[in-house]
Structure 1
Amino acid sequence: MPDPAKPLRVLVSEGSSTSAREAITILGLSGHHIEVCDPSPWCLSRFSRLVAKFHRCPGLRDDPAGYLAFIEQRLVDGKFDVLLPTHEQGFLFARARQRMEGCVGLALPSFESYRTAHSKAGFSRLLDRLGLPQPPTQIVTSAQQLREAVRFPAVVKTSVGTASRGIWFIRNADDLESPLHDLGAGDALADEILVQDLVAGTTEKAQSVFCRGQMIGFHAYRQVMPGIGGGEAIKQSVRRPIVRAHLEKVGQALDWHGALSIDYIMPDHGDAPLLIDGNPRLVEPMNAYRSGIDLVGLLLQISLGETPAPLPESREGVLTHLAMQALLGCAARGGTRSDVVREIVRLCANSAPYAGSSEELTPMRSDWISAVPLAVTAALLLASPKSAIKLARGGFGAHLLDVGSIRAIEGEGFGT
């Protein structure tokens, strides 16, 4: 078995997400050999000197069987130590785990547990079963049930979705027409839909690594400034013992093995956090890294079959930012060209609100090629600030799942 203290050959499952890009930075700073698979030749992680090789692959969304066959061939050709699922590819790998065992180091729970954490409806039911706090929630399966369940203000969510896909904020009856139209709602919806009361408060996220049901690493951060699509432009690390206890209870119930994250709200009125979403992966792990704990490195160790000692608490109060999110968020909130220019100046000068913060997505000092997608984003926004929404949607590509690909993967005989 390879020594996790030595450089490893790591195959990253996709290169389009911000989480993958940040994991690559951490892997590269640790000296590992990194190769990336993605259906897009222009994915975010393509612009990094830390990536030794890029493999253009079939899309997980459109051809999950083809994507799986491609990954398996890369594992044979490349003799990798670890396969690192940075996004929804873990759903596929968990389903085909028997085929992959013995071929590469891979840290994933059972498919049943992964499916529970990946589904918003399944995760909500688990929280109910464990007695953990969440906003008042109903799960519906028809347009009529959806209309009857909504209490203004509310949030409507598809059971499948990530990066704020399939989420609508409903403040009046007119707002409800948009999700009904987008969902193509007839008598029955294509999948289960969650209806939750909209709770005013601060959005925070917690991420962890479990080793066979035991938590061995934990980190939490709060949103200081929003970006676009529900993402953070500025984050600050926090200590949340109660959230840690909640997440630990979830991981133990699922006998979790690998990375597990949750989103939660700290309500404006009341101290108890409300859990709102689960993610069976690490979500943008750089703030944790800057705060003193390497969750990606921990994931590599358990992928190799190690049982590492639990990591200490991360430092609180550490600020990090994503310049690309900041610019997109500025433009999406109605910012003009002048507003975008001012935001660029503040970022370059590291002045308020970025004072004391470090860049986590495009670290130009250590990885100068990462400046390319940031510069292109800035140029496009200066040409047309209204293009922000379209640019953000470019990340919701063929590397992600949809209802059809999930049903194909869940189908009888898939992956055996």
Structure 2
Amino acid sequence: MLDPAKPLRVLVSEGSSTSAREVVTILGLSGHYVEICDPSPWCLSRFSRFVRKFHRCPGLRDDPAGYLAFVERQLADRKFDVLLPTHEQGFLFARVGQRIEGRAGIALPSFESYRQAHSKAGFSRLLDRLGLPQPPTRIVKSAQGVRDAVRFPAVVKTSVGTASRGIWFVRSADDLMSALHDLGGGDAFAGEVLVQDLVAGTTEKAQSVFCRGRMLGFHAYRQIAAGVGGGEAIKQSVNRPVVRAYVEQIGRALDWHGALSVDYIVPDVDTAPLLIDCNPRLVEPMNAYRSGVDLVGLLLLISLGETPAPLLASREGVLTRLAMQALLGCAARGGTRPDILRECLHLAAARGPYAGSSEELTPVQSDWISAVPLAVTAAVLAVSPKLAIKLALGGFGAHLLDAMSIRVIESEGFYQHNSSSPAKAGDDGGE
């Protein structure tokens, strides 16, 4: 059995997402040696004292083969204990699992299971097969199909998309025309599009870790205040045994191995929660960590082939905040410069809506370098609050998948392909 106190060498698959940034904090607080790779030299996770080395790599979106070759070189040269996929890189690693095996520990299910959880249409079909609740959903393949399926209010979703990309809230004919215009500008109808009834209620999220189909850890939280782009500015941990049972059933059906998260709606009426989305990864695990459940540590053990004991239930009522999301959300909702300044003061003093909460994304007290992106965000918004959306879109970069890169990874022969692409990126930064 692995000594849980032993520091591990961990390579984090990207550094731009909020999930990766929180994973880095948890790994660092636990004493592990952390390196990250990302195509952006200014990625969020780089601003952490816990990151020993940063590697600038090809983008997963633009060059999946080059990204894979880059990661393989790191694993061959640096002898990492664990490769930790924190976002959509897991799609690629699940596709080429045998090429990673033996080079570093990693916890992922079969590619077939990963692909079903990653696809919104595949996840919806799985829920139907298992008899689990979701909003009324129609899956279509054309603009006319969307028109025929919409019942106002509705949500239109591309089958592939993360971090609120590819989602339109349609409450009127004008909203529908705008959504169809956006869909027509890409290749969305080369795949499938979901049309769901929009159910009034509170958004919550649950995350879990499985070992060969058996759930070993679970945590859920609800959104208390919204940030920008569908993210949370304030969270509160909740106890949701019914959602836990849903996720257990999903994990068993997929023989899941590794991290699995779901989004769901708790309707305003007295009915069961409705599952609306799935992410085959941990999504911002710091609220779980503050609530007494270290899902990242559990995932490390499973990545190394261990079968640890199940974790105890997390504590209810634990409040956490994301200061950057709070500022961006304030500005995106039309906040003025005085509003931004007032929000900064509330956050700094943990008062007003932030009373009783702890910071999860930029924990300045334990990681002073995290103050840099927070201060830059505050300064930019103080100059021009209208830049909030542009700043938020900075997280939707080359470290993520799109429809084209998914087709490349799924294509016949990719598994055996060794990229001949010239090096597009290299190491940057040091210990």
TM-score range, shorter chain: over 0.9
1:272 aligns with 2:272: yes
1:132 aligns with 2:132: yes
Offset at residue 324 of structure 1 (A): 0.2
Q: What number of residue pairs does the alignment pair up?
A: 416
1:17 aligns with 17
Offset at residue 77 of structure 1 (A): 1.0
Superposed, 1:388-403 pairs within 5 Å as: 388-403=388-403
Distance 2:197 2:50 in 1: 43
* Cα 1:3/1:414, change in 2 over 3 Å: farther
Distance 2:90 2:135 in 1: 27
2:327 aligns with 327
1:298 aligns with 298
Q: Does the CA-based 8 Å contact 1:143-1:188 persist in structure 2?
A: no
Distance 1:415 1:183 in 2: 30
Offset at residue 299 of structure 1 (A): 0.2
Distance 1:187 1:274 in 2: 29
2:423 aligns with none
1:411 aligns with 411
1:361 aligns with 361
Distance 2:315 2:355 in 1: 18
Offset at residue 414 of structure 1 (A): 1.1
Offset at residue 139 of structure 1 (A): 0.4
Offset at residue 10 of structure 1 (A): 0.1
Superposed, 1:17-416 pairs within 5 Å as: 17-184=17-184, 189-416=189-416
* Cα 1:314/1:188, change in 2 over 3 Å: closer
TM-score by length of 1: 0.99
Distance 2:187 2:285 in 1: 42
Distance 1:260 1:236 in 2: 19
Distance 1:362 1:217 in 2: 25
Offset at residue 2 of structure 1 (A): 6.2
Q: Does the CA-based 8 Å contact 2:211-2:307 persist in structure 1?
A: yes
Offset at residue 397 of structure 1 (A): 0.1
Q: Does the CA-based 8 Å contact 2:82-2:304 persist in structure 1?
A: yes
Q: Does the CA-based 8 Å contact 1:183-1:190 persist in structure 2?
A: no
Distance 2:132 2:185 in 1: 31
Q: What are the superposed Cα offsets for residues 34-53 of structure 1, whole Å, 9 maximum, x if unpaired?
A: 00000000000010010000
* Aligned residue type for 1:398: A
* Cα 1:382/1:11, change in 2 over 3 Å: same
Distance 1:90 1:111 in 2: 9
Equivalent position SS for 1:189: helix
Distance 1:377 1:191 in 2: 36
Equivalent position SS for 1:121: helix
Unaligned runs of 5+ in 2: 417-431
TM-score by length of 2: 0.95
Offset at residue 184 of structure 1 (A): 1.5
Equivalent position SS for 2:352: coil
Distance 2:238 2:189 in 1: 39
Q: Does the CA-based 8 Å contact 1:350-1:356 persist in structure 2?
A: yes
* Aligned residue type for 1:326: A
Distance 1:169 1:380 in 2: 29
Offset at residue 5 of structure 1 (A): 3.1
* Cα 1:187/1:325, change in 2 over 3 Å: closer
Q: Does the CA-based 8 Å contact 1:4-1:304 persist in structure 2?
A: no
Q: Does the CA-based 8 Å contact 1:26-1:296 persist in structure 2?
A: yes
Distance 1:222 1:215 in 2: 21
Q: What are the superposed Cα offsets for residues 289-334 of structure 1, whole Å, 9 maximum, x if unpaired?
A: 0000100000000000000000000000000000000000000001
2:427 aligns with none
Q: What are the superposed Cα offsets for residues 316-371 of structure 1, whole Å, 9 maximum, x if unpaired?
A: 00000000000000000011111111111111111110000000000000100000
Distance 2:190 2:395 in 1: 23
Distance 1:186 1:198 in 2: 24
Q: Does the CA-based 8 Å contact 2:220-2:239 persist in structure 1?
A: yes
Distance 1:411 1:270 in 2: 45
* Aligned residue type for 1:381: L
Distance 1:160 1:186 in 2: 12
Equivalent position SS for 1:90: helix
Offset at residue 186 of structure 1 (A): 10
Distance 1:3 1:350 in 2: 37
Percent identity for Structure 1 against Structure 2:
81
Equivalent position SS for 1:248: helix
Equivalent position SS for 1:132: coil
